[in-house]
A and B are shown apart, each in its own frame.
Chain A
Amino acid sequence: MSAVAASREQAPEPAPAETLLEVRDLVMHFKVSRGPFGRSGLVRAVDGVSFSLRRGETLGLVGESGCGKTTTGRCVLQLETPTSGAVSFEGRNLVGMVPAELRKVRNRIQVIFQDPYSSLNPRMTVGQIIAEPIAVHGLERDPRARHERVRDLLVRVGLSPQHALRYPHELSGGQRQRVGVARALAMQPSLIICDEPVSALDVSIQAQIINLLAELQSDFGLSYLFVAHDLAVVRHISDRIAVMYLGKIVEIAGRRDLYEAPAHPYTRALLSAVPIPDPALEATRERQVLSGEVPSPLNPPTGCVFHPRCPMAIERCKREVPALKALGAGHEAACHLV
């Protein structure tokens, strides 16, 4: 493990890698009806989101519940068919691809879920859980070789080969999440969508899983789309971060810029709301508590969707939707006042 850490530190800055994933103007609207005679409405879960992800890179997607971060991940996986927009993976648009072809491409996009308990089949052993996708997708047809592969994967994620015979309920939360990681790795993906992968875990275990994800990334050159609400965890793991609010990206920047020079008032409020485990520091810390709550995506505010809660809002914010504006290299924010 220390060898891995050392090689990470010595590794030279990678040259700008090719774009692996490109999401353009992604829109995902859900039709809902309220009650049997109610008017139908439109939930604007994702409302024009664009970003790209390079090979070997981690993009953090942060925001509060209902901001559309999980739906964005599901659209990338094509678990939802977007209302409009494009999702290009390894240069090919997944939207509208014929199912047989999509299945092949999608092998290389895997997902790790928040709750490893509800995403592992309770009636299968850990070994069967990891072997199944390898068998189904014909990656390894020889049962003995498949068995070897499962052993290697278990060891790679910090479990022992004996865990193959256990059932999910016999494992702790952290161990179950390791099984989830092994299952994703089994498909030899190039992109893993991590949807709140540590938020259901105990604090002392979270760091173990985060370190594991970082090691696997450098060993296999993986890209992560890391969907999470914990801003400290996201800073640790991400190279770049996109902040979402009510279906839109309000700011996107490299790690340093976002945390040291946040431009959007919402990003600043989010950062100041994060508690810091140090009473002396907390006593002197200015806290900007946002008033009000996230409005319903059924009926988003006019103009800038953040304006009803924004401490800096001016008249213009109520009328005009701000576009993402470039502030520096790779740093963009959607605010009239930046």
Chain B
Amino acid sequence: MPAPLLSVVSLVTQFSTRSGIVKAVDGVSWDVEAGETVALVGESGCGKSASALSVMRLIAEPAGRIVSGQVLFKGRDLLALSAEQMRRVRGREIGMIFQEPMTSLNPVLSVGRQLTEGLEIHLGMTPGAARARALELLGMVGIPDAERRLKQYPHQFSGGMRQRMMIAMALSCDPALILADEPTTALDVTSQAQILELMKSLSQKLGVAMLIITHNLGVVARYADRVNVMYAGKIIERASARELYANPRHPYTEGLLRSVPRLDEPRRARLAPIEGQPPDLTRLPRGCSFAPRCRWREDRCEREAPALAALRGEWHMSACWQAERLGEAVTQ
């Protein structure tokens, strides 16, 4: 079997704050195969964005630090590259799409210039060739009237159009992988649907692998091949999207799925929330981080943290002492 396109191995990223060391990413391993769409799902503070920023080596130092681990991209460890080498990876080999396009676009450069800049720097294109490619990219992401649009500035674009522009920029140098951090969270539902359909069709057409980082389980259901669920800096469950939603094997995943009201189900009198609060990352409990909120908790959960382990005969992993029992209970 060929090595995955991207392989994150035992990554540990920490931030020092006034209240102590925050273990944002706490020994996490995951990978993305060429051409596939993988999701990192979790709530705020679970470490999903810190994981992506670590891959790109964009963790703000000195407060933040990648403590240990490897990020193997096409077999090279990105953490061992020089700053100069890393700059050639960002944008050229790995594209990025952020949540808030307005803050990630330069407000004083025309849209055309922001697109052609990368092409000229990374690919050494002439201004003319870069312009032609920019026009082609805008067409590809569904921005009409591309000639006129190239001369405009980001503030003249709507939220949905800016996100299309971000996609065009991310795709501009033919990357093998795109990291998309909450790509549609800032958009309205109807634009969300448009942008996600666009990302899906482009990634299939161009064979680009995607890592989607999101808190929205609904988004992931339609667009991801595999899903990693994170909680308090760790991956607590991993499975194919179909498997995860049909047969969740971690109480947190199961709780998340149960707590959201769904349009395809009859309305319930009460929602079933996960009680309690997410843990303080500077004072994680000794055992399982989810134990204080878990309705399946046993004595062992408070003493020993369960590792992410494969379930019997399945491509499905869960970090829970009760994973097998939970499977039986859910199927019943």
State the A residues within 8 Å of B (CB): 5, 8-9, 64-65, 172-175, 202-208, 210-211, 214, 229, 231-233, 235-236, 255, 259, 269-271, 273-283, 287, 289-291, 293-294
Q: How many A-B residue pairs have CB under 8 A?
A: 135
Quote the shortest CB–CB distance from B330 to chain A (angstroms).
Answer: 14
Q: With a CB–CB cut-off of 8 A, which chain A residues contact B246?
A: 278, 280
Bound Cα distance A172, B279 (Å): 10
B193, A287: Cβ atoms closer than 8 Å: yes
Q: With a CB–CB cut-off of 8 A, which chain A residues contact B306?
A: none
Contacting residue for A235 out of B188, B216, B267, CB 8 A = B267
Q: Tell yes or no: B199 within 8 A of A by CB.
A: no
Q: Tell yes or no: B282 within 8 A of A by CB.
A: no
Interface residues on B, range: 35 or more
B190, A281: Cβ atoms closer than 8 Å: no
Q: Tell yes or no: B194 within 8 A of A by CB.
A: yes
A205, B273: Cβ atoms closer than 8 Å: yes
A9, B269: Cβ atoms closer than 8 Å: yes
Contacting residue for B194 out of A65, A277, A290, CB 8 A = A290
Q: 8 closest A-B pairs (Cβ-Cβ)?
A: A275-B218, A207-B273, A64-B188, A207-B271, A202-B43, A204-B274, A236-B261, A207-B259
Bound Cα distance A53, B94 (Å): 52
Quote the shortest CB–CB distance from A172 to chain B (angstroms).
Answer: 5
Q: Which of B23-44 contact A (CB under 8 A)?
A: 43-44
**Given A174-B277, A175-B277, A276:B267 Cβ within 8 A:** no
Quote the shortest CB–CB distance from B142 to chain A (angstroms).
Answer: 9
A236, B271: Cβ atoms closer than 8 Å: yes
A277, B218: Cβ atoms closer than 8 Å: yes
B192, A204: Cβ atoms closer than 8 Å: no
Bound Cα distance A233, B267 (Å): 10
B257, A208: Cβ atoms closer than 8 Å: no
Known A-B contacts: A205-B273, A277-B221. Give 13 more (CB < 8 A): A8-B269, A202-B43, A204-B259, A206-B259, A207-B272, A235-B263, A270-B190, A274-B189, A274-B263, A276-B218, A278-B264, A279-B221, A279-B245
A233, B158: Cβ atoms closer than 8 Å: no
Quote the shortest CB–CB distance from A235 to chain B (angstroms).
Answer: 6
Contacting residue for A290 out of B158, B190, B218, B259, CB 8 A = B190
